[in-house]
């Protein structure tokens, strides 16, 4: 029987109106429909937000025509043993760097590329995969790739090749992780997306256990 971790670390970004949004996407906002402070018997809120704000899982249909939405994906990919790997820097993650991680079939990999994550600031430059490095992960049989940046592709990419290669290869994607202070090594990941039927992404509460 697998031992359940005793300690858990939250590696998801907190989300409120100050969280940085992908340029041109819908920012997070909240409206209080009812509130105890206003004499109502309950507090009820309404939120407006892109599902890509904060830490989130991308769905296959985000880039692949006719592919499943996030509510239809198998949540098993987001649960189980994982490895945190590290390559600090804003440049692209090259295939030779990914090969050094010695990816094996069934691996879940979380890439730490920043020493500190500030959810309030959208980075002008950030680490990302190239199409060739994404293919290294797909050919090795990885089941999940997560990164502490807003995207697995560069912000100005027109083809979004890394997304397409990963999703076509059946690799789940987590973006906007907060791996500040997390050491490389083996952990247990719990980060299932919400069952949002047909949507292109879902917020997640990502936890690392050890």
Q: Based on the structure, what is the number of domains in the chain?
A: 1
Looking at residue 112, which CATH number applies to its domain? 3.50.30.50
Task: Read off the pLDDT of residues 141-152 as tens digits, 9 standing for 90 and up.
Answer: 999 999 999 999
> Is 19 contained in some domain?
no
Task: Read off the pLDDT of residues 67-108 as tens digits, 9 standing for 90 and up.
Answer: 999 999 999 999 999 999 999 999 999 999 999 999 999 999
Of 52, 56, 62, 128, catalytic: 62
* 62 belongs to the catalytic site: yes
Domain that holds residue 117: 8-13+51-209
Q: What is the Cα Rg of the chain in Å?
A: 17
Give the E-state strand segments of the chain in sequence order. 8-10, 29-34, 44-48, 56-58, 79-86, 108-112, 144-147, 172-175, 185-190, 201-203, 207-209
> Is 42 contained in some domain?
no
Residue 1 has pLDDT above 60, yes or no: no
């Amino acid at each position: 029987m697998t031992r359940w971790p005793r300690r858990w670390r939250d590696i998801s970004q907190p989300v409120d109106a100050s969280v940085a949004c992908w340029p041109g996407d819908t920012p997070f906002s909240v409206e209080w429909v009812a509130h105890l402070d206003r004499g109502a018997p309950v507090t009820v809120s309404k939120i407006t937000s892109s599902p890509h704000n904060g830490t989130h899982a991308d769905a296959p249909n985000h880039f692949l025509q006719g592919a499943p939405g996030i509510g239809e994906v198998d949540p098993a990919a987001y649960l189980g043993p994982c490895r945190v790997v590290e390559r600090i820097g804003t440049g692209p993650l090259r295939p030779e760097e990914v090969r050094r991680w010695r990816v094996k079939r069934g691996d879940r990999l979380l890439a730490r590329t920043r020493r500190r994550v500030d959810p309030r600031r959208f980075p002008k430059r950030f680490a990302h995969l190239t199409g060739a490095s994404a293919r290294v992960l797909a050919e090795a049989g990885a089941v999940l790739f997560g990164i502490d940046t807003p995207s697995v592709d560069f912000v100005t990419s027109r083809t979004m090749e890394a997304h397409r290669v990963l999703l076509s290869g059946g690799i789940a994607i987590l973006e906007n992780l907060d791996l500040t202070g997390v050491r490389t090594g083996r952990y247990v990941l719990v980060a299932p997306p919400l069952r949002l039927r047909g949507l292109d992404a879902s917020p997640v509460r990502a936890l690392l256990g050890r």
